[in-house]
């Protein structure tokens, strides 16, 4: 089963009204097929991902920045680089993984627009949508056969500049060298197809775990050579905080496990001049896990090398799953959202 992902990134300001002559902060200012203004409002510049962003993304304060919601207030001090991409996974299109192509509304579901609107209203700007290659190209007709038009209609295309390409979700039991070669081939193919402005995320073997990136997986030996002719690629890693890093338990190892499991990967990114993207993370709605999540996100913003982070997960069909952050009442809404995520916007 090949689970892939597309990410959609945009700013909350896109919903507002601005009586200005330039492009508002976080709105589009370039890209494939874009015909609008390329002049940004004062104090912003048309940069990475063809959006108007504040002239400096680094926030430095003479006093430490604090997360000021809930009982688990922590201090995050120093020069902090805000995430360019911050949001949630929106799962559902990959459900019933061995039902191909499956039936919409029975085997799989696309994200609810109201869920996206909810998070945009809170200030989040990036949404990762997993999907199945076997549903786009059903095995019954093969990769060279026709695409399934119903499933394909739910996805965006190379002409949408707000799309981020996530090559493949969590490869495993494959040699790191092979996974690297497949990712490099995907980058080359994406660019050759005409999608030249969008960010591409590549994942390593061993479920692309941050905690094992430099120890045992082999990823650190090969991914330092990843290349993109348009210099717009980042390394996507995943990290959960339970005992085996699987994200299946709501008990976290300790209140510091988040920053500890990211430390070696962060150092590797710095040493190779690469950017990181935390594509999945999660934990339980309890004091220990919330402190661990805060510590992880704080360490990432202190490092200057992590450009984004996404919670796992929202989606219409999660029910009582402990990490569900689907509005209005997913179990992670009441504490994780205000205490662990919103303070790092």
Instruction: Name the β-bridge partners of 76.
Output: 65
* Separation of first and last alpha carbons in the chain: 34
Whole-number pLDDT of residue 49: 34
- Comparing 315 with 101, which gets the higher pLDDT? 315
Q: What is the pTM of this model?
A: 0.82
- Look-up: residue for tokens 């085997």? 107
Give the active site residues.
170, 280
Whole-number pLDDT of residue 143: 87
User: How many CA atoms, within 13 angstroms, populate the side-chain half-sphere of residue 227?
Assistant: 2
Return d(Cα 64, Cα 156) in angstroms, integer. Answer: 41
Among the listed residues 169, 167, 8, the one whose alpha carbon sits nearest the alpha carbon of residue 87: 8
Digit-coded pLDDT (tens) for 112-157: 999 999 999 999 999 999 999 999 998 988 889 999 999 988 886 6
Mean pLDDT on 307-326: 97
Burial of 320 (0-12, 13-18, 19+ CB in 10 A): exposed
Whole-number pLDDT of residue 17: 23
177 pLDDT above the threshold of 60: yes
| pLDDT bracket for residue 36 (50, 70, 90) | low
Could you tell me whether strands 163-166 and 200-203 are parallel, antiparallel, or unpaired per DSSP bridges?
A: parallel
| pLDDT bracket for residue 3 (50, 70, 90) | low
Share of the chain above pLDDT 90, in %: 71
φ/ψ (deg, to 5) at 79? -85, 115
Mean pLDDT on 242-254: 96
236 pLDDT above the threshold of 70: yes
Chain-wide mean pLDDT for the chain?
86
Whole-number pLDDT of residue 262: 98
Residues 6+ away with beta carbon under 8 Å from 26: 10, 11, 12, 13, 14, 51, 52, 53, 125
Digit-coded pLDDT (tens) for 188-208: 999 999 999 999 999 999 999
Whole-number pLDDT of residue 73: 60
Whole-number pLDDT of residue 76: 93
Among the listed residues 321, 298, 318, the one whose alpha carbon sits nearest the alpha carbon of residue 309: 298
Mean pLDDT on 275-290: 98
Digit-coded pLDDT (tens) for 37-85: 777 766 666 653 344 555 444 333 333 445 444 445 667 989 999 999 9
19 pLDDT above the threshold of 50: no
Mean pLDDT on 296-308: 98
Quick one: how far is CA 70 from the chain centroid? 25
- What domains appear along the chain, each with residue ranges and CATH number? 3-9+57-344 (3.20.20.80)
């Amino acid at each position: 089963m090949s689970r892939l992902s597309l990410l959609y990134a945009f700013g909350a300001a896109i919903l507002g009204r601005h009586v200005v002559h330039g492009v508002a902060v976080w709105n589009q200012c370039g890209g494939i097929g874009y015909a609008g203004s390329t002049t940004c409002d004062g104090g912003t510049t048309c940069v990475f991902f063809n959006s108007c962003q504040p002239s400096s993304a680094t926030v430095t304060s003479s006093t430490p920045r604090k997360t000021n919601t809930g009982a688990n207030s922590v201090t995050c001090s120093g020069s902090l680089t805000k995430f360019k991409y911050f949001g949630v996974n929106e799962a559902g299109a990959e459900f019933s993984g061995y039902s191909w192509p499956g039936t919409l509304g029975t085997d799989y579901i696309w994200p609810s627009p109201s869920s996206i609107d909810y998070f945009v209203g809170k200030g989040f700007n990036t949404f990762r949508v997993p999907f199945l290659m076997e549903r786009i190209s059903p095995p019954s007709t093969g990769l060279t056969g026709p695409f399934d038009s119903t499933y394909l209609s739910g996805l965006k295309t190379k002409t949408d500049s707000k799309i981020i390409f996530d090559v493949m979700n969590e490869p495993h039991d494959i040699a790191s060298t092979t996974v690297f070669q497949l990712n490099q081939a995907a980058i080359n193919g994406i660019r050759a197809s005409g999608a030249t402005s969008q960010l591409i995320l590549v994942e390593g073997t061993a479920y692309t775990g941050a905690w094992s990136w430099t120890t045992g997986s082999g990823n650190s030996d090969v991914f330092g050579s990843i290349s993109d002719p348009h210099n717009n690629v980042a390394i996507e890693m995943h990290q959960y905080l339970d005992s085996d890093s699987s994200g299946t338990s709501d008990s976290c190892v300790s209140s510091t496990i988040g920053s500890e499991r990211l430390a070696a990967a962060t150092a590797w990114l710095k040493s190779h001049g690469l950017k990181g993207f935390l594509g999945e993370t999660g934990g339980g709605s309890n004091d220990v896990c919330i402190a661990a999540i805060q510590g992880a996100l704080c360490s990432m913003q202190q490092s200057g090398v992590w450009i984004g982070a996404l919670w796992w997960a929202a989606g219409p069909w999660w029910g009582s799953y402990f990490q569900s952050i689907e509005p209005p009442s997913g179990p992670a809404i009441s504490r994780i959202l205000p205490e662990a995520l919103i303070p790092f916007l």
